[in-house]
Amino acid sequence: MITVKSRAELDKMAKASEVVVAALKAAHDILEPGVTTAALNREVRKTVESRGCRPAFLGYRGFPAATCVSVNEEVVHGIPSERRSLAEGDIVGIDVGVEYNGYFGDAAFTMPVGDAEPETDALLKRGKFCLDEAIKKALEGNRLGDISNTIQTGAESAGYNVVRDFVGHGIGSNLHEEPQIPNFGPAGKGPRLKAGMTLALEPMLMTGDWRVTVLGDNWTVVTRDGAPAVHFEHTVVVGKNEPEVLTIGWEEFMALYFEQTVGAPYTVEAV
């Protein structure tokens, strides 16, 4: 069942989401050549815990870190490591989930370390475009397949592929709830969306083949052909007239890179 959240529940999710964005900013702010992925993870964990929240990925099915950091051909679920230093031209995906008072927020972006190659730059911008377009479909009366199809069409029309094996998801009092949200599929199919449903939309695009492999660490998902991949995610509330983006704000500190997402900013009540 896909649950519809009350205003009180949305407020808690908005607070969790605000901390997600703060943690993403903390990681973004130290991102430069030479930094380790473990250092990014430390910044995320510190930021989340200092705000009285819990990093939702830490310990999730045994995941050993507060954040997933996925570099270049790593699509999602990369494990931060002291041995992995970032280099100029790498692209790094940072994914953060936060629990606040039993409610969750989840968001991710991918960005270059220093300057990206033009082809990588185009892939990054297309990934963000697909997320923005998908968010516009989070309206009451639409079908879930309208979101999936928008992502697939946005990617494939530019010559990219979408991941088949991993999906977006409902979110709320669980990190992962119904429904599963594939990044592909026909429009006009699937459950009808209702205002107050909360969805983590997360396009994953690659320049090459869509097939992926999970590494021996049982987490890191890589493209099978080694081509680079990107991942963007927002936690979104389905709206009657317009969607609300709960994790809004990470575009602001990457203003040179990505423009503000569609969707009115959600106002967090004092908690």
Q: Which residues bind Mg ion (CB under 5 A)?
A: 106, 200
Token match 């203003």: residue?
255
Report residue 63: phi and psi, to 5°: -60, 130
CB 21 within 8 A of CB 250: yes
* Cβ proximity to Mg ion, 13 vs 116, nearer residue: 13
**Beta carbon of residue 176, minimum distance to Mg ion (angstroms, whole number):** 7
* Cβ proximity to Mg ion, 65 vs 200, nearer residue: 200
Token pair listed for 11: 């407020």
* Cβ proximity to Mg ion, 193 vs 200, nearer residue: 200
**Beta carbon of residue 167, minimum distance to Mg ion (angstroms, whole number):** 9
**Beta carbon of residue 107, minimum distance to Mg ion (angstroms, whole number):** 8
**Beta carbon of residue 68, minimum distance to Mg ion (angstroms, whole number):** 9
49-53's contacts with Cβ under 8 Å and 24+ in sequence apart are 51/19, 51/22, 52/100, 53/16, 53/19, 53/98, 53/99, 53/100
* Cβ proximity to Mg ion, 116 vs 244, nearer residue: 244
With b for 16 or more beta-carbon neighbours within 10 A and e for fewer, the 208-221 pattern comes to eebebeeeeeebbb
